[in-house]
Amino acid sequence: MFRAISSGVGLARFSTAPSSERLAGKVAVITGAASGMGKETAAEFVRNGAKVILTDIQDDLGRAVAAELGPDASYACCDVTNEEQIAAAVDLAVARHGRLDVLHNHAGVAGRMTLDSVASLDLADFDRTMAANARSAVAGIKHAARVMVPRRSGCIICTARTAGVLGSVNPAYCISKAAVIGAVRALAGELGRHGVRVNAISPHGIATPFGLRGLAELLPEASEEELRRLVESGMSEMGGMVLEVEDIARAALYLASDEATYVNGHNLVVDGGFTVGKLIHTPDPVRSE
């Protein structure tokens, strides 16, 4: 009985397509795709056969990345704090390619990193951070669902963070990313009944320009090299291994592919076990005396 299942129905659920075709025929929109993890995810999707619309507010950079990725990539400006622009990006995919299979809500902001106490929390900054990170994710889910539900097919991925799992020094950012995880859990059940999957990815610290800028605000006297070592070594539990943008892109590729057809409402934490240990090993040059 076991052999019959293994050689028949059991294996039928897994894709046998070459890795270069894991997203063959799929159409994706990725927000915040002009640099960092978003850019690498767009490249990974194109390498795997998808047609990708990159969106960002960095127009020159976004156009350059799309040109670099070739004819299966294009760029559109999208400020994710503006719901109409999110809706327009979704509609562009449908108008240009006839469908939308994947929406990756990746764009976001760090917000103000330094905070003396909760009593000094800047609620204007909090509102901006929530709008760019949490509200935009909900708007993306809403408008992707609008075109995916009638087809009873689709995948929505939202970038959260380990900061939304553990909390850290930036309350507005942590709260916004926890809200992203909450939105995924709140909406995955309803959309799953219509064949649309909603999941989150929670990356840990990566030494992208975005990540280093935030740390530089916290540790203004540290050099860029010291900040990079803090991210790559002090925030790692993997014995010398370094988390790279490619790791996050491959996680997104998995969730977007047919290999994850029964994965819904999940927060895929990519942190090398950091949220288990909850330790930061600060290199000596950065450690305060």
Question: Which domains does the chain show, CATH number per domain?
Answer: 20-208+243-277 (3.40.50.720)
Residue 6 has pLDDT above 60, yes or no: no
Mean pLDDT, the chain, rounded, equals: 86
For 64, the 3-state DSSP assignment is helix
254 counts as catalytic: no
Read out DSSP for 71-117? TTEEEEE--TT-HHHHHHHHHHHHHHHS---EEEE----------S-
Tell me the whole-structure pTM to 2 decimals.
0.84
Average pLDDT value for residue range 52-81: 98
Label residue 285 by pLDDT band (50, 70, 90).
very low
> In angstroms, rounded to a whole number, what is the distance separating the alpha carbons of residues 141 and 148?
10
Backbone φ and ψ for 167, nearest 5 degrees, come out as 85, 160
Tokens read off for 20: 């270069």
Catalytic residue among 75, 173, 254, 262: 173
> In angstroms, rounded to a whole number, what is the distance separating the alpha carbons of residues 72 and 276?
39
Spatial CA neighbour of 56 closest among 126, 104, 117, 8: 104
Average pLDDT value for residue range 161-186: 92
DSSP state of 121: -
DSSP state of 26: -
